[in-house]
Amino acid sequence: MESFQLELHPERGPIYISLFKNVKNAVELRQRLLDQDASLAWALVNASLVVNTFQILLAINKAIHKEVTGKLKTHKINSEIVYDFSSTNNISQSLRRYGVSDDSTALIAIAIGGNPGDIEKAMQADIHGELVPLSSIPEFSDIKLIRKYYQLNDNNISDNIDELMPLIAGAMALKEIK
Amino acid sequence: MIDSAVLIKQGAEARVYELKPFLTNPNGCIVKERFSKTYRHPVLDKQLTHRRVSQEARCLFRCRKAGIDTPALYLVDPEAATIYMERILGRILKDIIIEGKADTDVLADAIGAALAKMHDVDVVHGDLTTSNLMLRDNNASLVIIDFGLSYVSKLPEDKAVDLYVLERAFSSTHPQTEALFERILTSYKTHCKQAKPTLSKLEEVRLRGRKRSMLG
């Protein structure tokens, strides 16, 4: 697990991000989300649609910025984070794509504020998988799917992350901008 | 504005800050905040500012998607009239040309190609000057910045005025660079799919100036 600070909203406390691989209980986790189980206190993101830590932080930053300015589109900050990964305004589709699905095996768990020791323990109790460093995110990225969902299918755009990331960032930032 | 943001530029429309670091990026980001104009009716002012912020962000992204190097968008907040975007590590073209060490032919070709791509996706920049073009330090890629006056238009007239504004900017900030601008146009012509109507309009615009005559 790694911790980060948001420059725009440091008052919301540190951000904790963990990457789990070989997750065995995605079905259970998804069911708990559907049941609105409040004890599952993390935002859970499908790691195959993520290219790096910066993308995760952009989504969190946007969600928290909206929370602070009273503009959440979904019920909770955790669902808003998942929603803000998406470039479309369709909430249920966004949560389906970027959240946990029954066949997810690589998941990113995000927590806002709290004690790092407690959070790491609680995350590991909830998510039955192997905790790996965020630097291994690229091993799980599905570039083809990422290009499809972020509508970056032009042939002149390469698969290079350095080229894709600014476009992903733009697509995420421009959502909800009329 | 956030305490750690440092004001780096104040223009007529907006203030530009630098925020370092930003979300683990040690280079930080640029925060562009449009301020309200007190001489406008508050309701109208809010609406105009809101619209211009989203227009600027959309044009930036449209160009980026078309393969033009522009700053990446990080966060757009139309309510606060603020755009958070990539901080480009580089130098503005104005300084590079004045210094006179760079190969201006290579520069001109790159400018022409970038403008052609931009006009091909119908983005009109609205304020092309050598201060709004940058070269990245790491790969010397030409970056177009400040889309604050940009809009989408298919009209050759608008694109021609865009080129004319750059021509005037060149002749006023960099004397004796007519050949350089000619080379930009040549490169523009080879790269732009619809260069012909725009360039013939440019001839017209040169004769009458930026503003269209409303007589007759």
**Which chain B residue has its CA at the smallest distance from A70's CA?**
B79
| Residue B161: pLDDT over 60 | yes
pLDDT at B1: 73
Nearest to A82 by CA among A115, A52, A49, A117: A49
Average pLDDT in the B121-147 region? Answer: 96
Query: Over the stretch A98-111, which tens digit does the pLDDT of each residue have?
Result: 999 999 999 999 99
Distance from CA of A7 to the nearest CA of B (A): 6
Active site residues of B: 127
A71 CB neighbours in chain B (<8 A) are: 79
DSSP 3-state of B142: strand
The rounded distance, in Å, linking the Cα atoms of B134 and B60 is 15
Distance from CA of A104 to the nearest CA of B (A): 27
The total of other beta-carbon atoms located within 10 Å of residue A166's CB is 20
ipTM for the predicted complex comes to: 0.94
The rounded distance, in Å, linking the Cα atoms of B148 and B129 is 13
**Hey, is the C-beta of A7 within 8 angstroms of any chain B C-beta?**
yes
- Test the B interface: residue of A3, A5, A8, A60 with most B CBs within 10 Å: A8
Tokens of B192: 């732009």
pLDDT at B215: 59
Superfamily name and number for B90-208: Transferase(Phosphotransferase) domain 1 (1.10.510.10)
| Residue B216: pLDDT over 60 | no
| DSSP secondary structure code for residue B171 in this structure | H
What contacts B10, CB < 8 A, 6 or more positions away?
B16
Nearest to B57 by CA among B78, B36, B37: B78
- For residue B85, the one-letter residue type is M
**Which chain A residue has its CA at the smallest distance from B54's CA?**
A177
The rounded distance, in Å, linking the Cα atoms of A139 and A48 is 9
pLDDT at A178: 76
| DSSP secondary structure code for residue A48 in this structure | G
Query: Over the stretch A1-51, which tens digit does the pLDDT of each residue have?
Result: 999 999 999 999 999 999 999 999 999 999 999 998 888 999 999 999 999
Query: Over the stretch A42-96, which tens digit does the pLDDT of each residue have?
Result: 999 999 999 999 999 999 999 999 999 999 999 999 999 999 999 999 999 999 9
Q: Please, which residues bridge with residue A116 across strands? A: none
Q: Please, which residues bridge with residue B22 across strands? A: B25
Handedness of CA B58, B62, B65, B68 (dihedral sign): negative
Phi then psi for residue A101, to 5 deg, are -120, 170
pLDDT at B212: 73
Nearest to A8 by CA among B103, B167, B82: B82
Tokens of B178: 């007519």
Which uninterrupted H or E stretch holds B90? strand B90-92
**Hey, is the C-beta of B43 within 8 angstroms of any chain A C-beta?**
no
Tokens of A48: 């195959």
Contact A57 B57 (CB under 8 A): no
The rounded distance, in Å, linking the Cα atoms of B103 and B66 is 26
Average pLDDT in the B207-215 region? Answer: 75
What residue spans define the domains of chain B? 6-86, 90-208
The rounded distance, in Å, linking the Cα atoms of B92 and B145 is 10
Contact B78 A177 (CB under 8 A): yes
- Least confident piece of the model among A150-164, B8-22, B117-131: A150-164
pLDDT at B3: 79
Q: Please, which residues bridge with residue B77 across strands? A: B82
Superfamily name and number for B6-86: Phosphorylase Kinase; domain 1 (3.30.200.20)
- For A101-112, b/e burial (b = at least 16 CB within 10 A) is eeebebbbbbbb
3-state DSSP helix/strand/coil percent for chain B, to nearest 5? 45, 20, 35
The rounded distance, in Å, linking the Cα atoms of B66 and B180 is 25
For chain B, the residue count is 216
- Beta strand pairing status for B90-92 and B133-136? antiparallel
Contact between B59 and B86 under an 8 Å Cβ cutoff? The reply is no
pLDDT at B149: 95
Please check whether the two domains, B6-86 and B90-208, share a CATH topology.
Answer: no
pLDDT at A104: 94
**Hey, is the C-beta of B72 within 8 angstroms of any chain A C-beta?**
yes
Structural domains in chain A? 2-174 (3.30.2380.10)
